[in-house]
Structure 1
């Protein structure tokens, strides 16, 4: 699979997961309960950043 495509998918997934986390936190009024969404988004972004630096 194309490495650029994987990087774009990782970046998009990290953005989507963070938006979902913010939305659920506002709707449910529970940031701590949705902490795992923020961490998944952060891990996806860190993986994207690592892959981008490694490929450069």
Structure 2
């Protein structure tokens, strides 16, 4: 698979998960209950950053 496409997918998923986490936190008034969504978003972003740094792009 194209490396650039994988990077774009990782970045997009990271943003989507963060937005979903923020929305659920505001609707439910429960940040701690949705903490796992923010951590998944953070891990996806770190994977994106690591792959981008590794490829030198």
Coarse TM-score class (shorter-chain normalised)? over 0.9
Q: Which runs of 5+ in 2 are unaligned?
A: none
Q: How many residue pairs get matched? A: 56
The alignment's TM-score, normalised by the length of structure 2, stands at: 0.98
Q: How does 1:1-56 map to 2 (within 5 A)?
A: 1-56=1-56
Large movers: runs of 4+ above 4 Å: none
Over the aligned positions, Cα root-mean-square deviation in angstroms equals 0.1
> What is the TM-score with the length of structure 1 in the denominator?
1.00
